Amino acid sequence: MNIDVSKLVRKNVLALSPYTSARGEFTGNAKILLDANENAFGSPLAENYHRYPDPMQTGLKEKLADLSGLTATQICIGNGSDELIDLLIRIFCVPAQDEIIVCPPTFRMYDVAAGLNDVAVKRILLTEDFQPNANVILQETTSGTKILFLCSPNNPTGNDLDYDTMQELLSSFPGIIVIDEAYISYSNQPSFLPLVSEHNNLVVLQTLSKAWGLAALRVGIAYANEEIIGLMNRIRMPYNVNGVSQSLASLALNNRSATAAWIAEIKSERARVQEKLPLFSFVIRVYPSAANFLLVKVTDAKALYQHLVSCGIIVRNQSTQPMLANCLRMTIGTPDENNTLLQALNRFES
């Protein structure tokens, strides 16, 4: 769908003239930088970090453009996707007036970011097979419903959201649709990235925290049309992605083969663990997964969680999420780690 995005934007955001940083104003070649009050001597470290980083993250965006098939102007990089979720809510949702729609059980950050901004959250549960209920979503949408958050593959259920249902929503939801693809590398379903150029209300979120193995660097990516990216650039902090993260992430993106090999290995380990888990008597159900984790329904999640802690293994108890009573989320680790998990489960059985 193509909508009038500017009509959805908060008035104060449209009126804002962004802070321009010293290093952001200047382009070209300079020998002497006396514009940003840095320490010109250097840093008390083996390497120098005394210059502010590129506020437009040009080098990293070029790598991501190449990887995604989109252009640098369709990319906004955040200090993790968490920052991008917050930015999107702040661009479109007037506090104490507008709302977002989320589809639990899902990633909790959408809820948290909305709450922080005093934005109401309409929760429309996934269906029993963990799919978005498109009819109810559209029925419940009002003029104050600014953003619909979908997560595919969904955390913590692990499944892909149905591609056709998401397409249906894309052609009928009158607000911004955010599709969070943090786990897309582990899925066999295609990404929505190619649709960013067709739908001006679509934002696809990806991250370097999972498959790329760079969680410590905090690099999240929003792909959207130029208008939304322009708004995100307008309100984000000028140096939101630090220089170390920019340069290390750029280097890492050159090494695609290591990441591809890990993805393949995690998928095969996922299949192996998925096959073993139902053999335990306390496992009620192992849900199908298109991500790097398994959601497992057990007889007593709390007891099993405590047992695993006592074995030095931490999983995530998801029991407080709707529809997920007695469910644990287990990340797929290395083969050794997965074996240790299976042994610990064996001990719980006996």
Ligand X SMILES: *Cc1c(COP(=O)(O)O)cnc(C)c1O
As a residue count, the chain comes to 350
Of the chain, the end-to-end C-alpha distance in Å amounts to 56
Tokens of 282: 């306390």
Our finding on whether 289 is near ligand X (CB under 6 A) is no
Find the shortest distance in angstroms from Cβ 209 to ligand X: 3
DSSP character string of 80-135? SHHHHHHHHHHHH--TTT-EEEE-SSS-THHHHHHHHTT-EEEE----TTS---HH
Is the Cβ of residue 244 or residue 284 nearer to ligand X in the bound state?
A: 244
The answer to whether residues 332 and 211 touch, using CB atoms and an 8 Å cutoff, is no
The answer to whether residues 342 and 313 touch, using CB atoms and an 8 Å cutoff, is no
Residue 117 CA to residue 82 CA, distance in Å, equals 14
Is the Cβ of residue 92 or residue 107 nearer to ligand X in the bound state?
A: 107
Assess whether the previous peptide bond of 174 is cis (omega < 30° from 0).
no
Find the binder of ligand X among 82, 86, 99, 160 (CB under 6 A).
Answer: 82
Q: Could you give the residue ranges of the DSSP H alpha helices within 117-225? A: 134-140, 163-172
Find the shortest distance in angstroms from Cβ 244 to ligand X: 16
Question: Residue 34 carries which side chain, given as an amino acid letter?
Answer: L
Sign of CA dihedral 252, 257, 259, 260: positive
Is the Cβ of residue 81 or residue 145 nearer to ligand X in the bound state?
A: 81
Is the Cβ of residue 180 or residue 269 nearer to ligand X in the bound state?
A: 180
Our finding on whether 113 is near ligand X (CB under 6 A) is no
Find the shortest distance in angstroms from Cβ 32 to ligand X: 37
Find the shortest distance in angstroms from Cβ 319 to ligand X: 18
Our finding on whether 174 is near ligand X (CB under 6 A) is no
Number of residues that bind ligand X (CB under 6 A): 13
The answer to whether residues 206 and 220 touch, using CB atoms and an 8 Å cutoff, is yes
Find the binder of ligand X among 5, 151, 217, 249 (CB under 6 A).
Answer: 151
Our finding on whether 57 is near ligand X (CB under 6 A) is no
Our finding on whether 107 is near ligand X (CB under 6 A) is yes
Our finding on whether 74 is near ligand X (CB under 6 A) is no
Find the shortest distance in angstroms from Cβ 315 to ligand X: 15
Our finding on whether 130 is near ligand X (CB under 6 A) is no
Is the Cβ of residue 9 or residue 296 nearer to ligand X in the bound state?
A: 296
CA angle at 299 for the pair 286 and 278, rounded to the nearest 5°: 30
Nearest to 330 by CA among 263, 273, 281, 282: 273
Show contacts with ligand X in window 205-264 (CB under 6 A).
Answer: 207, 209-210, 215, 220
Match 């120098």 to its residue by tokens. Answer: 48
DSSP character string of 254-275? T-HHHHHHHHHHHHHHHHHHHH
Interface characters, 176-195, with ligand X (x: CB under 6 A): ----x-x-------------
Our finding on whether 149 is near ligand X (CB under 6 A) is no
Our finding on whether 155 is near ligand X (CB under 6 A) is yes
- Tell me the window of 25-33, 74-82, 129-137, 306-314 that interacts with ligand X (CB under 6 A): 74-82
Which residues sit at the interface with ligand X, rule CB under 6 A? 80-82, 107, 151, 155, 180, 182, 207, 209-210, 215, 220
